[in-house]
Structure 1
Amino acid sequence: MKSNRLHFYQTTPEELTSTILNGVDNKLQEFFDKFLKSLNTEEDELLTIEEALKILKCSNQTLWNWRKAGIIPSHRIGNRIYIKRSDINAKLIKQN
């Protein structure tokens, strides 16, 4: 880890505070950039009905009702039905 040396004898308290806050801000920005990047790749994932049921912890009938009511959109590819992880996350966030 790279460290920058601070020279306190030539630094005002305001400059020291600004330097520390800029460092913390940069580290937080790096963390959130990595976190959001991992979320974006995860949210584009298509889940089968069984996988969605495990995440939502609901019955097959409940999920079917939500799909028919448009609460959770589903996508048909061939004979299979998929649900986007982002749609499930949006539903879970709205519930709170």
Structure 2
Amino acid sequence: MKSTPVHFYQTTPQDLADNILTGFDIKLKEFFEKYQLPRKEEELLTVDETLEILKCSKQSLWKWRKNGILPSYRMGNRVYYKRSEIFNKLVKQG
């Protein structure tokens, strides 16, 4: 971002605020593009982490998985659940 001097005698307070906010928006956008922070909604949770959130038994979770109530994803021998899908089911049930 190219910086230009601001002369206070030639600007209004609103123009100064707009100039500052524009520069802040550009820097913030550059930061997020550079670091691409992960979204927690797409986080995969293990069975134990899912049980901790739902506060239910393994048998209940297994039944919900088998009946298609809560979708699961397998990688090798492990089963995972998407955090966003867990919360969506909780909201729909509530």
Equivalent residue, structure 2, for 1:59: 57
Q: CA shift at 1:67, angstroms?
A: 1.0
RMSD between aligned residues: 3.4
- List runs of 5+ in structure 2 lacking aligned partners: none
Q: CA shift at 1:5, angstroms?
A: 6.3
Higher share in helix: 1
Identity of aligned residues (%): 48
CA contact (8 A) 1:74 1:81 kept: no
Question: CA, structure 1 residues 53+94, in 2 after alignment: closer, same or farther (shift >3 Å)?
Answer: closer
Q: For 2:79, give the aligned amino acid.
A: Y
Equivalent residue, structure 1, for 2:85: 90
- List runs of 5+ in structure 1 lacking aligned partners: none
Could you tell me the TM-score, scaled by structure 1's length?
0.56
Equivalent residue, structure 1, for 2:10: 10
Tell me how far apart the structure 2 counterparts of residues 16 and 69 of structure 1 sit (CA, whole Å): 60
